[in-house]
Each structure stands twice: as C-alpha cells, then as structure tokens.
Amino acid sequence: MNKTVLLPAPGRYVLAVSGGVDSVALLDMVARQAELSKTGQYQLIVAHFDHGIRADSAGDAVFVAELAKKYGLLFESQREELGVLASEELARTRRYKFLRAVAQQHTASLVTAHHADDSIETIAINLVRGTGWRGLAVLDSDIIRPLLDLSKQDILAYASTYQLAWREDSTNDSDAYLRNRIRHQMGELTTDSSQQLLSLRVQQITLKHQIDEEVYRVVGAGPSYSRYFFTHLGDATATECLRHATHARLTRPQLAQALLAIKTARPGATYQAGGGVQFLFTSRNFEVELIK
C-alpha cells in the first residue's frame, strides 16, 4: 500500500471496531502510530457494538475483546437483540447511539474505518433512494474517518502485509440488504468513474458547507422566524432554510409539509412535523420547538 493515510493526531479516541478487515486494519494503524509517538499522548478505546442480528455475532465481540487486550487498550461493548428482521437503518442507528455514548463518556473523538469504496456505495444508495443534492456529500460529519482515501484493496493489502486476522460478516453475501446489492455491482465501475465520484463528493461537501454558512447568515439562530420570509422564497431555497431551522431533523417530504403549514396554518395553531419537531404559529411568525 503506497497511499498516505492521515491518521489522528495525539489525543483521546474511540475506535469503532466491528472485527472486519477494515476496522481491524484501522486499529492496527492507529495503535502503531501511538506506539511510534512515544509521547503517551494517545488514549485509545476500542468500542464494539453487537446488534444481535446474526447467530454468530457474539463471536465477533469475543474476537474484538481479545484484539483490545492484545494492544493493551480499554474495551467497551454493548449487545442488543435486534433480531434477524432488523433493518440496516435500525442497526446503524443503534450502533451510532452506542458509539457516541462511549465517546461522550470518555470525552473522546469517534473514529471509524470507512474507506473510499464505502463513499461510493453510500452515494449509489442515496441515488437509488432518490436523494437530493446533499446525498452526494456523504460521510461528512464530526466523525474522524482516516481511511477515506484508501480502497478496499488497499486495506486488504495492508492486512496481508501485517498478517492481520479478522472476522467475516456472514451477511455480507446476502442480497437482502441494499448496500450488499450495490457492493456486488461495484466491480463494474471503472477506476476513472470511481475517482470522478469521489471528486464529486469532495466538491459537494465544500458546497454544502458554503450553503450552510450562507443560510445561517440569512436565517439566523431562531427559534422564531418570519412566515412572510419563508412564504416568498422559492421552494428549493425555503427547504434549505427550513432544514437549518429544524436542525436537519426532517426528511424532504416532512420539510415540504412543514412549508405548507407555514403558508396556511392559522394563528395559534400547532403543527407536529415529525422527528421531534413542533411548530407554533402566530399571524406573522412561527417558532420551532425540538421536543425530544
């Protein structure tokens, strides 16, 4: 592997380790960097979430616990019985709730092993689902993802070089999950097409940040906003502004319904938009309440 990996600077980090090759390679890279630093300024916590979807998932937890012990790191884990019918979205939501709780508990930053292929898969999934333009600006958050410039093949080459062992997720071959179906088709993408998608992602992330900054400048921090202002915006612009006002809790269909309520609700009315968002209306303004 001849690509440069920008690993986290010294600090306190929660490493999300599933036991698969991606997260095992990430753990090894960061642990090696911490060892080489010789400063003692790295504090690493290995975190593993067992969703209870697969019959053999308990073995993954044991494997990751042994890895943490091997590297001399603190291990945090949680098991839930989501069951075989659990959706990808539910499993992801529960996993990140656990990981963020661990990061908060240790006042640490969260690090995951997402790589370039994951970016392309997520873009493809969003396109299949009918994404808006933000669906191209994927994997952009406060989570640290040092492997985004590496392909799956790069990671496998690293694991081979350092003779790492990992666990294979038995559901990876199942077409029951959309991500797997997308992944199985990715072999048809040329290298040029992959690079174009990755370049587009970077451009969209830059654009997203610029739009977010401009929307904040125009709309302000709330929680009270002018109905007149929102009513006289074009739908696309109004949607972006309302997305900001509702802290990005609403889906696009929910935002469309909320805009309709802004235009038509009577003074004194209350509108439950979903996502824990409530609107309170006066004749001139509306107030956004986050109720959970």
Q: How confident is the model at residue 106 (pLDDT cuts 50, 70, 90)?
A: very high
Structural domain range at position 265: 221-290
Any domain includes 176: yes
One domain, residues 161 and 270:
no
CATH code: domain of residue 34:
3.40.50.620
For all residues of the chain together, what is the average pLDDT? 89
Pairing verdict, β 277-281 and 270-274? antiparallel
Closest CA relative to residue 6, chosen from 115, 152, 101:
115
What pTM does this model have?
0.76
One domain, residues 33 and 150:
yes
One domain, residues 167 and 257:
no
One domain, residues 108 and 59:
yes
One domain, residues 149 and 35:
yes
Residue 52's pLDDT is what?
87
What's the whole-number mean pLDDT along residues 100-108?
A: 97
Q: How confident is the model at residue 120 (pLDDT cuts 50, 70, 90)?
A: confident
One domain, residues 30 and 110:
yes
Any domain includes 1: no
One domain, residues 83 and 25:
yes
One domain, residues 244 and 156:
no
Per-residue pLDDT tens for 203-226?
A: 888 988 999 999 999 999 889 999
Residue 35's pLDDT is what?
86
* Count of domains observed in the chain: 2
What's the whole-number mean pLDDT along residues 230-251?
A: 93
One domain, residues 32 and 152:
yes
Q: What percent of the chain is modeled with pLDDT above 70?
A: 91
Does residue 254 contact residue 272 with C-beta atoms inside 8 Å?
no
Is the bond preceding residue 223 a cis peptide, omega within 30 degrees?
yes
CA atoms within 13 A on the CB side of 6: 4
Q: List CB contacts of 228: < 8 A, sequence separation 6 or more.
A: 284
* Chain center to CA of 161: 29
Any domain includes 100: yes
